[in-house]
A = this chain, B = another copy of it.
Amino acid sequence: MSKNYYLPTRVVSGIDCIRENAGRFAALGKAALIVTGGRSAKITGALQDVEEALASQGIRYAVYDKVTANPTIPCAYDGAEAARAFGADFIVAIGGGSPMDAAKAMALLAAQTISPDKLFSGSYLPEALPIAAVPTTAGTGSEVTQYSILTNDAAETKTSIATELIFPAIAFLDARYTESLPFETTVNTTIDALSHAVEGMLSVRASTFSDLQAKRSLHAIASTFPALLIWKRGETQGLSRAQRETLLFASTLAGMVIAQTGTTAVHAMGYSLTYFKHVDHGRANGLLLGRYLAFAAEKNPERVASILSAGGFSNPDVFTDSLENLLGKRESIDPEEAEKYAKLAAKTKNIANGIIPTTTEDMRQIYLDALNGNK
């Protein structure tokens, strides 16, 4: 079967890259809606850098800062209306996965009328506002993907808009914006990226091109674990700039991977932990990932060994222990929840996308083992 690799986003990276590349905004239009979650864009300095860059190019802009964590469908429509009302030619998304994902849906909805029942159909007119993405966390990879993942109350889970129309035109990677992240957010987002790299290698769409990026991402993320543990023990106050740059590089690489491969069972299972139990998205994946890899190793030991060795882990237990050390005390799950979530996960596209056959019963057991098990 032939493989595809497609990543049309221009990736600009480096400290102060927005200021150095302000002229790139002019290619996107004359009026921008800046979409953020409010707080992080301001305290990181990213919003100010974007505003100054837009002003330097004579681009008028407005700020839409009402995106919350796990953004909803109504939020996407609301922002799209704001973009239309302002006459935005393009969108600048600043933040973690939530503002970027919301902004990407807004870019689509601002350029064409799509009713809520068709929002996840994948069938759209070939029109969307161009997007510039500025990540302020190192985890989501949304700055280089064609996905907008929204909380879908009708389906009681998260659902993806997936269309090449919403690949950001440009992503600006400046690790300074991630330096003020607290420990917990740093770990959760890091593990989200790790999950993308791992799941990307367990996808039927993985290729030599995506594997190269996935392995490098795994290696880079694992290289920061010792520093994260030292921070957790309170022996340091955080990560160095070089470590922040490593994590941002790794998370964008992992985003490039899932842009090709999609995610698989772990994300499918994690969504319910987030939707029903309000577990952070990255953490939810992290709680499940080790146990899922141990399960996968029984079915495809060679592939799992290749994943683990890229990160320098000798076996799934070492991997699970490493995550456990970072994530701390696990949430618990009761049998009824495990059954319900497994059934919901089984309905997602993610399951068919994996190379490891995974049944509803398998997932029920993985939920129980991962959250309530001895290890």
Contacts and interface: CB of A to CB of B under 8 A. Distances in A.
Interface string A204-240: 0001110011001000000000000000000000000
Contacts of A69: none
A21 B8 contact: no
B20 A1 contact: yes
A216 B212 contact: yes
A253 to B, nearest CB: 8
A11 B4 contact: yes
B4 A16 contact: no
A44 interface: no
A66 interface: no
A7 interface: yes
B213 A11 contact: no
Contacts of A213: 212
Nearest to A209: B11
Contacts of A3: 12-14
A55 interface: no
Given A212-B213, A212-B216, A2 B11 contact: no
A1 B13 CA distance: 9
A60 interface: no
Given A11-B209, A212-B213, A17 B5 contact: no
Contacts of A5: 10-13
Contacts of A1: 14, 20
Given A2-B21, A20-B1, A20-B2, A13 B207 contact: yes
Nearest to A216: B212
22 contacts: A1-B14, A1-B20, A2-B14, A2-B21, A3-B12, A3-B13, A3-B14, A4-B10, A5-B10, A5-B11, A5-B12, A5-B13, A7-B7, A8-B8, A11-B209, A13-B207, A13-B208, A13-B209, A209-B249, A209-B253, A212-B212, A212-B253
Interface of A: 1-8, 10-17, 20-21, 207-209, 212-213, 216, 249, 253
Closest 6 CB pairs of A and B: A2-B14, A2-B17, A6-B10, A8-B8, A5-B11, A2-B20
